[in-house]
Amino acid sequence: MIAPYAARPENSLRRIFIEPAEPTNSGRNPFQRDRDRIVHCSAFRRLEYKTQVFLNHEGDHFRTRLTHSLEVAQIGRAVARRIHLNEDLVEAISLAHDLGHTPFGHAGQDALNACMKDHGGFEHNLQSLWVVDHLEERYPTFSGLNLCFETREGILKHISNNNRKIHAAWLGALGERFTLGHSPSLEAQLANIADEIAYSNHDIDDGIRSGLIPMGSLEEVQLWRDQLTKVKILYPSLSGSKLRHEVIRHIIHILVNDLVTTSQKLILEYEPQTIDDVRSSKPLISFSSSVQVQVQELKIFLFKNLYRHPQVLGVTEEAANQIKFLFEHYVNYPQYLPADFRVDDLEQPMRRISHYIAGMTDRFARKEFARFST
């Protein structure tokens, strides 16, 4: 059922370390095996206690990195089925895409990046790759999860020029794609847009639920306004959380349908025959330009009214200071790092400290901050 231009497990560009083939009776292909490795790794479990937008302890109903990743996988798989891409690969990439996120969301990441300014910086996409390539310790003969090239390619969405040079040796062909201007697989392109669809919609939901976004204010956003009008015609007396959920459901439908139709059109136009054609072509998984403009408008609205909301900024700034404090603390007192992160190997000490902090959950980082700051 999958298209010739989809990623095929039998043609995978392979894992970093050669492993014995999966027993034929296992019923798993290599991408499914990657998905299973990701679900079983400890970085995946820690996503449960990492902030998406709202700090983990602020409420039990807000998204965490874990539930966000599950929503990305759901949307990604649904679209993959409709355009005959490899659903398993989309799922594996989606579930792993945020493994490298720091505690405390973007504030935590910016803080860690500032701490690492003179030591190669910190990027969450690259960090997700560090996690699956090096930091997980689960297998007897290698570090990391030894995932397929295609899964790793999808995880490394973007990387700065500087980091590409610094990490060229272990990035290999993954890094070359950016220099050559090549596209990743359609599955990787899809997981990236599924991420965008998921967070734009669940952040509306969490934003309204938290009281930070008054539902009425969303009417300045065309996507919301149009779907609200439709829902009001279908269910004139609907209000409260049912109304909110129905409008959001409509928006997700509109975005998914547009993504499917536009991508199908682009694929017909560029006629990729194989995944190599996909890699040398422009990105083919895309919204139409009119929907792209509307998605952009929604994202700007969320940026101004939610991510930059004084209440969100206040809490996350405090959290960012905790990250800075912890970083300096471990620089000055490396004996407090766990043994694994004190090993004097090829990685410079600052990178090891940033690995340790990036891996923390919100609640563990708060606990460590409380322990060392009093």
Among 91, 195, 203, 206, binds Mg ion (CB under 5 A): 195
Min separation Cβ 69 and Mg ion, Å = 7
Cβ proximity to Mg ion, 199 vs 369, nearer residue: 199
Min separation Cβ 98 and Mg ion, Å = 5
Cβ proximity to Mg ion, 191 vs 291, nearer residue: 191
Residue 11's Cβ-count burial label (10 Å; 0-12, 13-18, 19+) is: exposed
Give the contacts of 218 (CB within 8 A, at least 6 positions apart).
204, 208, 224, 225, 228, 301
Distance separating alpha carbons of residues 203 and 306, to the nearest angstrom: 8
Distance separating alpha carbons of residues 55 and 165, to the nearest angstrom: 34
- Binding segment for Mg ion (CB under 5 A), chosen from 13-21, 192-200, 253-261, 339-347, is 192-200
The number of residues that bind Mg ion (CB under 5 A) is: 2
Site pattern 237..266 for Mg ion (x: CB under 5 A): ------------------------------
Distance separating alpha carbons of residues 146 and 149, to the nearest angstrom: 9
- Binding segment for Mg ion (CB under 5 A), chosen from 79-87, 188-196, 296-304, 321-329, is 188-196
91 lies in the site for Mg ion, by CB under 5 A: no
Distance of CA 196 to the CA centre of its chain: 9
Closest residue to bound Mg ion by CB? 195
Beta partners for residue 64, in sequence order: 51
CA gyration radius for the chain? 21
Beta partners for residue 51, in sequence order: 64
88 lies in the site for Mg ion, by CB under 5 A: no
Distance of CA 38 to the CA centre of its chain: 13
Among 34, 71, 91, 98, binds Mg ion (CB under 5 A): 98
- Binding segment for Mg ion (CB under 5 A), chosen from 36-44, 81-89, 177-185, 193-201, is 193-201
Asked whether 148 and 15 are in contact (CB, 8 A), the reply is yes
206 lies in the site for Mg ion, by CB under 5 A: no
203 lies in the site for Mg ion, by CB under 5 A: no
Binding site for Mg ion (CB under 5 A): 98, 195
